[in-house]
Amino acid sequence: MAKGKSTTVFFCQSCGYESVKWMGQCPGCRQWNTFVEESVLTKSKETGGKKTGGLKSRPSALSEISLEEEDRITTRMQELDRVLGGGLVKGSLILVGGDPGIGKSTLLLQVCRNLAGDGREVLYVSGEESLKQIKIRANRIGEFNEHLKLLCETSLPAVEETIRNVKPDIVVIDSIQTMYHEGISSAPGSVSQVRESTGTFLQLAKGLNISIFIVGHVTKEGTVAGPRVLEHMVDTVLYFEGDRHASYRILRGVKNRFGSTNEIGVFEMEASGLREVMNPSEFMLSGKPEETSGSIVVCSIEGTRPMLIEIQALVCHSNFGIPRRQTIGTDFNRVNLLIAVLEKRLGMSLGNCDAYVNIAGGIKIQEPAVDLGIAMALASSFKNRIIDSKLIAIGEVGLSGEVRGVSMIQARVQEAKKLGFTACVIPYVCMESVKEIKGIKIIGVKTVADAIAYL
Ligand code: TYD
Ligand code: MG
């Protein structure tokens, strides 16, 4: 590109791939018809050029850097603090993504209330709702003090100026897709606009040492608009997920420069905003049916926390040539594999049966440690035998039907004990690690067949 010339570039609206010419299919993400022509802001290019020439940064010794700067601010929401890696880091940029209506604005308004309650200056910038609409929401949530300031604005330079003038400690931008810079001809929410806005907020966060939350809506493909562009620029990416029709919400860390990822925070949406769910296992198991076949409790590790989850399976005679297999909340291929293991290693003729597996509560689990539970639920439904409702199953299943060891077995068994379970089926190889745990019957199994013998 010639320097100083105003240019137009084509951006893939799905992944942010940049190209000088239009293309039907994006080479980056293989989506069709996603390229849109956008003009690039020449101003930022000029300053960008100058900066690299005249930047005066000195290298510093790692041992001389003090960690005081990275002090954490508590949001007074334990669930959120944990996902953030122990609180909010000053000068960090946090992206909160999620489907529309999932509760992003509600969560952040509650965070603002807590932080303002601690005497910090908070600025909530809304490009989506009017002051009155925010007030109506705030009334449902509770009391707010004068440290929280609201601003309804979509113009990026205006927001930037306000932040520089007000000098708040925490800023919330709701949402990044509504922010608009006049210097860029493309529409709000397009890749260039989102990239420009995020870049501006990144500079503000680092320059003024303030924490900025940005809300990003997720497109129907399941990613934040201009997603990769956004995700690599920010320090932390949190996704707020959950079934809109169920009341609980899960906040998941996807990227975190200041803590572990894959931590989750569990919330419940109530009439007065989001409530933290401190004991997700209890919550996930509420409403579990007693005395029915095909239902078993398993323990999955979510981040650093064990969580008990109910697995339901339904196996019934198929009326069609090709049996139906369906899974909700767990990996489809994994379930097919377990069905094959049951068929081959245990001689269960599931070939002419429909099989459905559901993770109750709508949560998604990927961990292989739930394999044994899924296999036992399938077998229980197939044989129509009830599994003891006080029994939990932990273990990974291999192709030859062996039950393999899993990590963090003690934490899992302790969690089961805490919630009143009386028996625990675990991999035989893990027996040694849990021999000190008393008050719960531990059954070590070597194969799926051994486990199913307990039904
Ligand atoms: P919202 O925070 O506006 O979602 P987002 O910003 O992610 O689009 O959440 C809106 C939903 O939450 C809406 O369907 C109503 C519900 N809600 C409650 O159930 N209780 C409440 O106290 C509030 C404020 C919202
Ligand atoms: Mg909102």
> What gap in Å lies between CA 373 and CA 329, rounded to an integer?
14
- Cβ-Cβ contacts under 8 Å for 419 (sequence gap 6 or more): 281, 282, 285, 308
Q: Is 97 in the pocket of ligand 1 (CB under 6 A)?
A: no
Query: Cα 165–169–171 angle (5° rounding)?
Result: 80
Q: Which ligand is nearest to the CA of 275?
A: 1
> What gap in Å lies between CA 83 and CA 96, rounded to an integer?
12
Q: What is the pLDDT along the chain (455 residues), one digit of tens a residue?
A: 444 456 788 888 877 888 999 999 989 888 888 888 887 765 544 444 444 445 567 888 888 877 665 578 999 999 999 999 889 999 999 999 888 888 999 999 999 999 999 999 999 999 999 999 999 999 999 889 999 999 999 999 999 999 999 999 999 999 898 999 998 888 888 888 888 899 999 999 999 999 999 998 876 655 555 546 788 889 999 988 877 677 788 898 889 998 887 788 989 999 999 999 988 888 888 888 888 899 999 999 887 788 999 999 999 999 888 899 999 989 999 999 999 999 999 999 998 899 999 998 778 888 999 999 999 999 999 999 999 999 999 999 999 999 999 999 999 999 999 889 999 999 999 999 998 888 999 999 999 999 998 88
Burial of 330 (0-12, 13-18, 19+ CB in 10 A): buried
Strand 305-317 with 295-302, pairing: antiparallel
Q: Which atom of ligand 1 is nearest to the CA of 141?
A: 22
The CB-based long-range contact list for 424-429 (8 Å cut-off, 24+ gap) reads 424/391, 424/392, 424/393, 424/394, 425/372, 425/376, 425/391, 425/392, 425/393, 425/394, 425/395, 425/451, 425/454, 426/394, 426/395, 427/372, 427/394, 427/395, 427/396, 427/403, 428/403, 429/404, 429/405
136 φ/ψ angles, rounded to the nearest 5 degrees? -60, -45
Q: Is 271 in the pocket of ligand 1 (CB under 6 A)?
A: yes
The two structure tokens encoding residue 290: 């007693």
> What gap in Å lies between CA 263 and CA 255, rounded to an integer?
10
Q: Which atom of ligand 1 is nearest to the CA of 271?
A: 20
Cα(238) to centroid of ligand 1, in Å?
Answer: 17
Which of 399, 410, 381, 389 lies closest to 447 in space, CA to CA? 399
Residue 307, amino acid: M
pLDDT in the model for residue 56 = 64
Cα(101) to centroid of ligand 1, in Å?
Answer: 6
